[in-house]
Amino acid sequence: MTHAADTPHDMPQDADDLPAQDAETAADHDLWADDAGAQDAAPASVRAGAEVIRRFWKTLPHLPGVYRMIDANGHVLYVGKALDLKKRVASYVRGIGHGGHRTMRMIAETVAMEFITTDTETAALLLEANLIKQLRPRYNVLMRDDKSFPYILLTGDHAAPQLVKHRGARVRKGRYFGPFADGGAVNRTVNALQRAFLLRTCTDSYYENRTRPCLLFQIKRCAGPCTGEISQEDYAQLVVEAGDFLSGRSTAVKRRLAQEMQEAAEALEYERAARYRDRLAALSTVQGTQSINPQTVEEADVFAIASQAGMFCVQVFFFRNSQNWGNRSYFPRAHRNLPEEEVLGAFLAQFYEDKPCPRLVLLSHKPDECALLQDALSDHTGHKVELGVPKRGEKHTLVAHAARNAHEALARKLADTASQDKLLGALAQAFGLATPPRRIEVYDNSHIMGTNAVGAMIVAGREGFMKTHYRTFNIRSTDITPGDDFGMMREVLQRRFTRLVKEGARPDAPAPAGDEENADEVEASFPSWPDLLLIDGGQGQVSAARAVLTELGVTGVPVVGVAKGVDRDAGRETFLVEGRAPFRLPPRDATLYYIERLRDEAHRFAIGTHRARRKREFTKSPLDEIAGIGPARKRALLLHFGTAKAVSQASLEDLRSAPGINAATAGMVYRFFHDRDG
């Protein structure tokens, strides 16, 4: 669906320059003769790239499939699909007339190509979307944010169904409701549904081991089926009501609850009437968070795209069972010159690559190859999918609402980016950098008296914190004295930059001045090398960092230390920059606040990682260290002996007598503990 060139597939051809292999391919060999002069006028790098593509093109079949263009470092530059691979790749062989520097640069960087043939163009489109999400090529339209959506699951594999939040593959038996735009919306809805229908949220194992009702029963958030506080028949009725409400039959459910509340009040059973009143209030809370519920659209996803200043925003609204389950903004990475229709089409193919698609998808723009995309989504989902661009009625109103949200979200994003650009410019001025940094890496360590030591790296850029680039480092060196912050910093930076150096020379040098197209491409790809290192620490940590960079031969990466102020007061930090005396920034300076935010985020991330590791250590068992002892055998041993210590003290005969433990496993466990003791 995404095309790398703007030239038509069926271009004029002449077969004089290339020897015809057979009658069928002779018509394809003409593309050089008509443009021989133009080829001479193309830059040498483009001609070289076109020659590489030509060698692959000569043996291509006239079949649908997917192609990959690869650079000298083995990185995939672009993934495209074609109804006819030979005709599609022919457009690159010309090396000219591609409507801008973007495709010319792509051709110039190509040193190899790979191809996969498919049975149909529909299969090629689905494969293309899958490869783009996996490989994230530089010249494709990229989604960037591909997190899964949360659902509400009403389980169907237990006598007392459970109401839970669910993410990931829908493999558990039950009814799924959603998707919701964010996890917070699911949590709020589940909490309200607990109050409304009193369904359990506990795990099955917790349920099976209850001997008395838990706290949720006491605060009227669960009906207590685990201990028989409600009969199975009455609990099943609550499950039916919850399913009806989530399926869109909320009016009938509320009417029934209102009637039962009235009957209880007339019978002077005011406590029971109050319970029905509270359940009705909880349902009103759920519906109150679902604005613009449509009357004529039961199930649909609504997409609208907006573009401004070279950026794109796609707004997605989810409607299920005539209820609005929220919306989310996406900012796909795409070349500024691409039309909105092409960006939206490429986005849709990637969006539904790992998600179920509803029967109706409403769009603000008709994408290129709309019919092909519709067929591909239908094949992928297993039911007919309709893509529509409504012009009137309620459907048009929904799309217009999404488009308005897209424009507003893009305006906010641009404003945030402009503010971020100002901060990065001020940061460069404060630290004497030649240009504003595009990638800032901040490092911090966390430990308790040297135990469970971890190093953390957070990354920031024009778009704020880049959390997908965060990294943690478990301190592994045995030569480091426990609590040696300098040694920890050396290990972290050595591992980080050793890997960068192995991956090759710095590919992220700024574009030459005046080359706007090149600058746009460089900006579109977030750099892998940092332009600035911020070290949370004083002169010792900074010296350790600079020593590592010098040892690895890394130059041109500024290192700045952020030493804590007197009494560790925020706002009184001292900055250590090479070639300058230590200095402070003025109080209430915006740059100072920004640096504090970076430092605090690194500290938060390091502390969180350290706590998670420490928690794992607390629950670690010696049985985890025995090769060949999996979760099932470990559980069998603990159930039989009670504790890991009792297992370590057991005789070989006792181990053999444990249920689920054979003689070989018993011998393995016995030797692990007793050989180690010796």
Which letter, b or e, does each residue of 394-414 get, where b requires 16 or more Cβ atoms within 10 Å of its Cβ?
ebeebbebbbebbbebbeebe
* Cα–Cα dist 385/374, whole Å: 6
Q: Which residue has the tokens 């370590």?
A: 648
* Cα–Cα dist 656/101, whole Å: 72
Spatial contact of 492 and 446, defined as CB atoms under 8 Å apart: no
DSSP letter at 510?
P
User: What percent of the chain is helix, strand and coil (3-state, nearest 5)?
Assistant: 50, 15, 35
Task: Tell which residue, 294, 283, 218, 210, has the closest CA to residue 246.
Answer: 283
Neighbours of 504 (CB within 10 A): 12
Confidence class for position 252, pLDDT limits 50, 70, 90: low
Residue 12 has pLDDT above 60, yes or no: no
Min mean pLDDT across 128-142, 492-506, 610-624 is at 610-624
Residue 306 has pLDDT above 90, yes or no: yes
* Range 570-596 average pLDDT: 85
Confidence class for position 167, pLDDT limits 50, 70, 90: confident
* Cα–Cα dist 146/331, whole Å: 11
Spatial contact of 62 and 86, defined as CB atoms under 8 Å apart: yes
* pLDDT value of residue 618: 59
* Cα–Cα dist 299/186, whole Å: 18
* Range 434-461 average pLDDT: 84
* Cα–Cα dist 633/621, whole Å: 13
* Range 322-333 average pLDDT: 83
CA 108 to chain centre: 31
* pLDDT value of residue 676: 56
> What is the per-residue pLDDT across 13-49, written as a single tens digit (0 to 9) for each?
333 333 333 433 333 444 433 444 444 445 788 888 8
* Range 232-256 average pLDDT: 78
* Cα–Cα dist 198/236, whole Å: 11
Task: Tell which residue, 142, 149, 119, 123, has the closest CA to residue 357.
Answer: 149
Task: Tell which residue, 318, 388, 402, 401, has the closest CA to residue 360.
Answer: 388
- Joined together, the tokens standing for residue 181 give 């735009």
- Joined together, the tokens standing for residue 350 give 């990637």
Min mean pLDDT across 370-374, 426-430, 624-628 is at 624-628
* pLDDT value of residue 133: 85
* Range 310-333 average pLDDT: 85
Residue 514 has pLDDT above 70, yes or no: no
- Joined together, the tokens standing for residue 261 give 């509340």
Confidence class for position 260, pLDDT limits 50, 70, 90: confident
Residue 102 has pLDDT above 50, yes or no: yes
Q: What percentage of residues in the chain have a pLDDT greater than 90?
A: 16
> What is the per-residue pLDDT across 517-561, written as a single tens digit (0 to 9) for each?
444 444 446 788 899 999 988 888 888 899 999 998 888 899 999
Min mean pLDDT across 118-127, 136-145, 310-319, 616-625 is at 616-625
* pLDDT value of residue 568: 55
